[in-house]
Chains A and B, each alone.
Chain A
Amino acid sequence: MALAEHAQRTGSRPAGSVTVLEGRRKVMRLASARPAPTEGQLYAAREKIHPASVRGTFRTVKWAILSVALAVYYGLPFLRWERGAEQPSQAVLLDLDKGRFYFFFIELWPQDVTYVMGLLILAALVLFAMNAVAGRVWCGYLCPQTVWTDLFMAVERFAEGDRRERQKLDAAPWTADKIWRRTLKHALWILIAWWTGGAWVLYFADAPTLVVQLAAFEAPTAAYAAIGILTATTYVLAGHMREQVCTYMCPWPRIQGALTDRHSLAITYRYDRGEPRGSAKKAAALRAAGRPAGDCVDCFQCVAACPAGIDIRDGLQMECIQCGLCADACNTVMRKLGRPEGLIAYDTDANCQARAAGAPAVYKPVRVRTLLYAAMISAVGGIMLYNLATRDLTGLSAIHDRNPLFVTLADGSIRNGYTLRVLNKRPIERAFTLGLDSPLPLRAEVVGGSGNTLRVPADSTQEFRVLVFAPPRAKLDRSTELTFVITDPTTGDRAAADDHFKAP
């Protein structure tokens, strides 16, 4: 039962590798930061985690990603992109009113929603591929929950100090200093949260205009409501909930277990090298006596640094977002002790076992699974790119009148009625020429129009009623194929729609 549960929690392997677990059990468990259930309680209070600040490679990478991600998020709405007169000049804009999505040189209409589907498929595949190669890369570095939590923790450290000071402050009575520090922290959090919500709404309207409107209390109610909701969620999720979101709210930790195999890298405590753990002094004594000693000095720096509050030495755990901060903390200690770095590093459990048994470690980033993901990503991406590159800026659809199918006129000629809808995706008004392609000597007439010209305003669609006439005494079948063709004489754009001409 415990084994099954362990397998479930570690996410990766069902009962298949019992030996691993048994082998590990001997070496594991001194103390866990995971909250132990209070006796007889079915619900446990969250234990506040105070991660210590660390320096190192992973921390630097995380800061870099955080800076870029937040700069893009807060700044992108202000980036301009010229599209011509009367057209929005915002590089990234989701215009819900007009039903247009602008992304730099791409403009999508509601019927182009297939691209969004393609993007989602692509995003899922990339996520799967990342997981197959190096585990929860998304969770540790890229997820907004991680990025904002990191930012909020930095603010917390600025206002209240590092782990030790914060723990002391928690226990301290409410002095003026404590009140001041707490007020400062929450004020800064709310400010960032508010800015986060504020930046969000700027993607849905012209940013500079909306900023002015917001300040003058003239913006739409929906904008204020969205800002309010996002301010609240950011403040609560990044300030107060943090690892609880990852552990209890997010489905991804459960799913990723199914997408990881024995070759997937993960932040791993190399127990083959670390065990038996003990103080530096004891280890030195053991080594002097020629007996095996592990590199782990049991300093708990990895536990102190963990934003999820777990002990990485217990193995792969569901709570672990694989941010690598424990590795940074451990490397600092190893450097001080003069031992090689990488006691905690990207590795696999299989390699730990192999090394412990004296076999060489195996790294296989290229395997069937990752190749398949790469192939699928290329295929979907390729299809989307091809589609995007060859998509039409002109469209035509035709609907034949349902009733009457045809009308006999006084001179005996036959008339059919159609509704044509012309799409003009270019940012200029265009005049299309309507033509007919049919084996019959048909003549078209645009109702209320001038001749066979269809005028369509910039970036919009226009409906036209078109009457098609067959001359009197023409030899007509009950149904004859007919193609409407529109051409833009200036650009040469062309679109066609197939229909039928009906007769008695």
Chain B
Amino acid sequence: MAESALKSPESSGETTGHEWDGIRELNNPLPRWWLYTLYATIVWSFAYWVVYPAWPLLTSYTTGLFGYSQREVVLEEVARVREARAARGQAQLASASFEDIRSDPNLLNLALATGKAAFGDNCAGCHGVSATGRTGYPSLQDDEWLWGGTLPEIERTIRFGARTSHPESRAGDMMAFGRDGILKRDEIRSVANYVLSLSGKAYDPKLDLARGGEIFAQNCAACHGDTGRGKQEVGAPDLTDAIWLYGSSPEQVIATITNGRKGVMPAWEGRLDDATIRSLALYVHGLGGGR
């Protein structure tokens, strides 16, 4: 192709001088400022290397003139959030009355958020992430409370635990009536049948209910009450309701009476600070069943 063939009204026909297999490139020059923009970005990248962390070394990296570190920034932010939280009333959570906290939406929200986080860290292991409990570990979602469902009662249970070595601990055992030889096997079957009848559950009509009632009155009523409604002072559960910590099948009830139950709730005083314990109480109370 002759040089003149590249000429047209739109092109001078000048080529860049580059040629590949006879194909030549027309020279349509870019504006020069475009080139300068490229140079500027190169200069910028050098400046960036100097100012900011850039190059990995064997054991560390070039830190740059400003000593900028994203980790430091995060740590600073975390510290700032902690301070802000403290300013928002972390201290008040430890000292203010429950009524005051509940009547202040901001303080209550702070308590609930603190309580939720602390619950996940400390309580969820036994009570479940959603506080639904499982066999032997009570659900905190429902409105049945072994040791009382008011805020001060819940706080006390969290603080000192149940059946711990703490002097203020909740105390009261379900005795092992069978293992310790207090009741005979058929007596246990009778009383278990009676207990099932208390909450309207299906029971075995072949067994004598009256006899079960007598055994209950002699052995169980001291803690569970004459009508079986339980006694929160000793952690004796209500046997007339729909909630069964250790199961409601005849076998499970018989097992409970035979071997006794001694569920332990650890004391959290000393491990969690006051504000956290009280926040936990507010959180648990607010799950839906608080009294």
Point out residues on A near B: beta carbons under 8 Å.
1-3, 5-6, 9, 25, 28-29, 35-46, 241, 244, 248, 314, 401, 403-404, 407-412, 415, 417, 447-448, 467, 472
Contact = CB atoms under 8 A, between A and B. Distances in A.
B180 interface: no
B142 A244 contact: no
Contacts of B108: 448
A408 B142 contact: yes
Given A6-B10, A39-B14, A248-B30, 8 more contacts: A37-B12, A37-B28, A41-B27, A241-B33, A409-B144, A410-B142, A410-B144, A447-B288
Nearest to A47: B31
Interface string B60-78: 0000000000000000000
Interface in B1-51: 5-12, 14, 16-17, 26-35
Interface residues of B, number: 38
A274 to B, nearest CB: 16
A3 B8 contact: yes
Contacts of A248: 30-31, 34
B243 interface: yes
Contacts, number: 105
A452 to B, nearest CB: 17
B29 A42 contact: yes
Nearest to A8: B10
A417 B5 CA distance: 82
Contact of B130 (A2, A404, A411, A448): A404
A407 B288 contact: yes
A37 B14 CA distance: 8
Contacts of A38: 29
A417 B288 CA distance: 8
B101 to A, nearest CB: 12
Contact of B29 (A9, A37, A410, A448): A37
Contacts of B34: 43, 248
B219 interface: no
B242 A44 contact: no
B288 A42 contact: no
Contact of B31 (A9, A43, A408, A447): A43
B20 to A, nearest CB: 15
Interface of B: 5-12, 14, 16-17, 26-35, 102, 108, 129-130, 132, 139, 141-144, 238, 241-243, 286, 288-289
A239 to B, nearest CB: 14
Contacts of B27: 37, 41-42
The majority secondary structure among interface residues of chain B is loop
B106 to A, nearest CB: 13
A260 B129 CA distance: 64
A401 B287 CA distance: 11
B130 A403 contact: yes
Contacts of B289: 407, 409
Nearest to A447: B286
The list of the 10 closest CB pairs from A to B, nearest first, reads: A2-B8, A410-B241, A44-B29, A412-B242, A403-B130, A410-B144, A407-B141, A37-B29, A43-B32, A404-B132
Contacts of A410: 142-144, 238, 241-243
Contacts of A407: 132, 139, 141-142, 288-289
Contact of B143 (A41, A44, A409): A409
Contacts of A25: 8-9
B242 A408 contact: yes
A29 B7 CA distance: 13
A33 B172 CA distance: 102
5 contacts: A1-B5, A25-B8, A44-B32, A412-B241, A412-B242
B284 to A, nearest CB: 13
B229 to A, nearest CB: 10
B31 A314 contact: no
A2 B31 contact: no
B139 A1 contact: no
B142 A36 contact: no
Contacts of B16: 42
A415 B289 CA distance: 10
A46 B130 contact: no
Contact of B9 (A36, A42, A241, A314): A314
Query: Taking each of B12, B31, B130, B243, which has the highest tally of chain A beta carbons within 10 Å of its own beta carbon?
Result: B31
Contacts of B35: 43
A275 B27 CA distance: 31
B14 A2 contact: no
A41 B132 contact: no
Contacts of A411: 241-242
Contacts of A2: 6-11
A41 B85 CA distance: 65
B130 to A, nearest CB: 4
Given A5-B8, A28-B9, A314-B9, A244 B33 contact: yes
A412 B243 CA distance: 8
A480 B111 CA distance: 34
Given A1-B6, A42-B29, A408 B243 contact: yes
A464 to B, nearest CB: 12
Nearest to B238: A410
Contacts of A244: 31, 33
A76 B33 CA distance: 36
Given A45-B32, A404-B132, A36 B12 contact: yes
A472 B241 CA distance: 11
A442 to B, nearest CB: 15
B41 to A, nearest CB: 15
Contacts of A472: 242
Query: Taking each of A9, A37, A314, which has the highest tally of chain B beta carbons within 10 Å of its own beta carbon?
Result: A37
A270 B6 CA distance: 27
A5 B242 contact: no
A279 B242 CA distance: 110
A3 B9 CA distance: 9
Contacts of A37: 12, 14, 27-29
